[in-house]
Amino acid sequence: MCAASACKTGESLSADSAGTLVWPLPQQLSAHGGVLRLHQDFALVDHAGADGVAATARLPATLQRFSELLERMGVRDVGRQEFHEGTGSVGGSPGATLRALRIRMGNSSGADDAPTIDTDYSYSLRVRAADALLQAQSVFGVMYGLETFVQLLKRGARGDLVLPHSTIDINDAPQYKWRGVMVDAGRRFFPVHLLHNLLETMGAVKMNVLHLHASDYCRWSVQSKLYPELTVTDITGTSPGSYTQDEIKALVAYAADRGIRVVPEFDLPGHSRSLVPLAKHGLEFCGNASDLTHANQIKRGTHGRSLEVLKSLLGEMAGLFPDAVFNIGADETLVEAGCPANDTRLLEAELLGAVQSMGKTAMGWEQLLSLSATPPSGANSSRPQHLFDRNATIINAYSGTTAAAVAALGHYAVESHAPAFYFTHPAGWDQHWKQGKCAYGCHGPVGWEMCWYDVAVGATAELLPKILGAFSNPTTA
């Protein structure tokens, strides 16, 4: 999947058809010939058994889901059949219509249990008149190939579904490993059915990470059985709601069935007003300890009780999200009364270490780049030290730096460039961002031109492996 300027398309494609057949544009696409009708008994054919390769348990469910989609689009009684050796077709000899899409999947050796940061989403799709073949190394590549096949279908003159060309060749793979959308459930609650709708849309356009910003000023949005008081009361009374643990487990499974990872973010130690109910368990806050009305940042404290409470809570949350990445936020921590910068940075480093001790890769916003501090008293050296492993922490660049600059420091980076990817900004909804930027379009649809941004800008070839990708941020502040 690539930008238009980087794609190789067949000469027979017009500029319009190259840009509208499939989105995002594949790495390679060529097509020619007249339209090709789908037979009324069109079938998706599992070719895996014919090659002696054991199909993943996720494949039948994937084929069923796309069969149902094709039926809703108008293909009657879509079948899911096994390949008949020696025929190359289903239900009879090939005719003027396409009777089947054969699917051949490589031996993924358990890699299809759930999508990961290293999942192979590549696929190829070949159509030759009455024969069509989709090949992929993983079931998630099969999903992407089927999404492409569905996008290719158009309504024919007789009202039936047709492919726009009788000869099509597509080879595709994502340019970046991280293609995400952030949902800010910490400020505004998103019902589960809305998240399902979003996941369906993400799958259709081959995005693969749902960044669930699960806590902020307004709420801790995920049920805790250790600290049930967290979701009993909405802190601000704005857009109340929370997810049960069963709902989270089901959401993760629903996303995985569409090739999407769910990466949680629990924003600590700032943006933590939602954790005020845990003060009775020993969690300390900056500011006036006798009046927590406006408390919003957690204090490291002197007896380690804050860290103890947070470690138990994060450990419970980590058990609900199987993804290897766990985001602690660390966004916009401030020097507040009772919380000197040095103590706050030490607490952030301790939280990163806690995440890593759970077998997770830690992640946080770009403020972590300043994470050096004077060690606690009793340490071997009093000189400021960098407090975490660059290679074990992913940094979100969004405002004061870029993914390329983060990668140059040795970190893995995910870009969320605010002027382009914060959707409050490009369309002109955020008055602050309108100032001085109306040349780019600050009213209505024209403003979406600002959404284009090269996440690798400024990066050398050596740095590109450190740039994992990007996510859009329709934050609801």
CA separation for the pair 288, 424 (Å, rounded)? 34
Is there a contact between 383 and 347 (Cβ–Cβ < 8 Å)? Answer: no
Summarised one tens digit per residue, pLDDT across range 218-276 is: 899 999 999 999 997 666 666 689 999 999 999 999 999 999 999 999 999 999 999 99
C-alpha torsion 232→235→241→242, nearest 10 = -60
More confident residue, 91 or 55: 55
Cβ neighbour number for residue 400 with a 10 Å cutoff: 11
Among the ranges given (93-102, 249-258, 288-297, 376-385), the one the predictor scored with the smallest mean pLDDT: 376-385
Is there a contact between 308 and 258 (Cβ–Cβ < 8 Å)? Answer: no
Binning pLDDT at 50, 70 and 90, where does residue 117 land?
very high
45 token code pair? 């054919």
- Measured at the alpha carbon of residue 453, what is the angle toward residues 124 and 449, in degrees to the nearest 5? 100
More confident residue, 388 or 425: 388
The residue among 276, 331, 265 whose CA lies nearest residue 298 is 276
Mean pLDDT of 396-405: 93
CA separation for the pair 218, 99 (Å, rounded)? 53
Place of tokens 């499974």: 253
Binning pLDDT at 50, 70 and 90, where does residue 439 land?
very low
Cβ neighbour number for residue 136 with a 10 Å cutoff: 25
> Which one-letter DSSP state was computed for residue 235?
S
Summarised one tens digit per residue, pLDDT across range 276-285 is: 999 999 999 9
The residue among 411, 418, 389, 392 whose CA lies nearest residue 465 is 411
- The percent of residues above 90 in pLDDT, for the chain, comes to 60
CA separation for the pair 338, 287 (Å, rounded)? 6
Amino acid at 331: D
Binning pLDDT at 50, 70 and 90, where does residue 365 land?
very high
HSE-up of residue 358 (Cα within 13 Å, Cβ side): 25
Is there a contact between 421 and 472 (Cβ–Cβ < 8 Å)? Answer: yes
HSE-up of residue 342 (Cα within 13 Å, Cβ side): 10
CA separation for the pair 275, 286 (Å, rounded)? 12
- Classify 424 as helix, strand or coil: coil
Among the ranges given (153-167, 170-184, 308-322), the one the predictor scored with the smallest mean pLDDT: 153-167
More confident residue, 453 or 1: 453
Cβ neighbour number for residue 120 with a 10 Å cutoff: 17
Binning pLDDT at 50, 70 and 90, where does residue 140 land?
very high
146 token code pair? 């089927």
Summarised one tens digit per residue, pLDDT across range 189-226 is: 999 999 999 999 999 999 999 999 999 988 999 999 99
Checking if the pLDDT of 337 tops 90, the result is no
CA separation for the pair 265, 220 (Å, rounded)? 11
pLDDT at residue 84, rounded to an integer: 40
pLDDT at residue 12, rounded to an integer: 41
Q: How many residues does the chain have?
A: 477
The residue among 282, 251, 267 whose CA lies nearest residue 314 is 267
